Amino acid sequence: PPRSTLFPYTTLFRSKINVFLEVGDVQDDGYHDVATAYQAVSLYEEIVATAADEITIDVTARSHVDVEGVPTDDRNLAVRAARLLAQTAGIDRGVHLSVHKSVPVAGGMGGGSADAAAALVACDALWGLGMPTVELGRLAARLGADVPFALMGGTAIGTGRGDQVSPALARGRFDWVLVPNEQGMSTPVVYGELDAHRKRHAVDIGPAPRVPAVDPDVLHALRQGDAEMLAATVRNDLQAPALHLRPDLARVLERGESSGALAGLVSGSGPTLAFLASDEASALDLQVTL
């Protein structure tokens, strides 16, 4: 096994967008099965893990991120990750985690999940555990639906609660313009609104899919690295309820779509909006317009 180290261990973990998200019917326990295509984006969380007696955390952020709502106790997902790892390995070790956030909080981009995945990897290295990747993946799934993807990165399909991930092929690059929003949104509230929306419109929209599945056209577009093809297939079942809760977002979405974006969508449960541009120059133009 690798030796533990006294040096600080630095990791960078990416946030994500869901380029496709189909949500199944609500289950007895209130949760939903989903089928999603995740893609990691180049907006990173930085976590530095330093040997310490206890498990502690401090959270700072770049100027566009408001960290006021981020807990710095045992409710923080990164702290929970470190505790779970120590407990699973049967060791009594501490760590100080310094989290520097670039990902909007409660923005639908999996920032907390990235912190948790980073904490697992950093503590595994710092404590010299050498835990197998599959075992880290199992711990990730216990921490949250998006954590296994955060650990895996790249492009992947997520089923179950989104936690059963398998890598997908993707080629080239996609240029997204991400529009954060000051007011975060709660994922359970958005799912609740989706259930209410489906009940209200049961006659028009029919039943929710029993077994959600990712549209094969999405996978094809990702494999081709073809932005126009991808734009024609992106979809998010949480978009309608998110916009219903936050009509102000619909105006920004329309603005982006009429200003050259190939497609616009709500990222995860929102409120971050993601606009797909045909190339880097168009993305910069769109960024300036928005």
Q: Could you give the residue numbers annotated as active site?
A: 16, 146
Q: 223 to 282, contacts with ligand ATP by CB under 6 A?
A: 268-269
Work out the angle at residue 246's Cα, subtended by the Cα atoms of residues 273 and 282, and round it to the nearest 5 degrees: 20
Taking the C-alpha atoms of residue 218 and residue 20, their distance in angstroms, rounded to an integer, is: 7
Q: Which of 109, 122, 125, 139 binds ligand ATP (CB under 6 A)?
A: 109
- The burial of 199, by beta-carbon neighbours within 10 Å (0-12 exposed, 13-18 middle, 19 or more buried), is given as exposed
Closer to ligand ATP at the Cβ: 102 or 233? 102
Q: Report the nearest approach of ligand ATP to the CB of residue 165 (Å).
A: 13
- E-only strand ranges, 62-174: 94-101, 155-159, 164-167
- The burial of 154, by beta-carbon neighbours within 10 Å (0-12 exposed, 13-18 middle, 19 or more buried), is given as middle
Q: Does 105 bind ligand ATP (CB under 6 A)?
A: yes
Closer to ligand ATP at the Cβ: 141 or 229? 141
Q: Does 221 bind ligand ATP (CB under 6 A)?
A: no
Q: Does 146 bind ligand ATP (CB under 6 A)?
A: yes
Bridge partners, residue 45, by sequence: 13
Q: Does 158 bind ligand ATP (CB under 6 A)?
A: no
Distance of CA 154 to the CA centre of its chain: 12
Structure letter (DSSP) for residue 57: E
Q: Tokens for 236, please give them.
A: 């998010």
CA distance between the termini of the chain: 51
Q: Does 102 bind ligand ATP (CB under 6 A)?
A: no
Q: Does 77 bind ligand ATP (CB under 6 A)?
A: yes
Q: Which of 107, 158, 180, 256 binds ligand ATP (CB under 6 A)?
A: 107
Q: Which of 11, 21, 93, 111 binds ligand ATP (CB under 6 A)?
A: 111
Nearest to 261 by CA among 245, 244, 279: 279
Q: Contact region for ligand ATP (CB under 6 A) — 86-94, 112-120, 165-173, 197-205?
A: 112-120
Q: Report the nearest approach of ligand ATP to the CB of residue 200 (Å).
A: 24
Label residue 110 left, alpha or beta by phi (over 0 means left) and psi (-120 to 50 means alpha). left
Q: Contact region for ligand ATP (CB under 6 A) — 26-34, 75-83, 124-132, 166-174?
A: 75-83
Q: Please report, as ranges, the residues that interact with ligand ATP according to CB under 6 A.
A: 69-71, 75-78, 105-113, 115, 146, 184, 187, 268-269
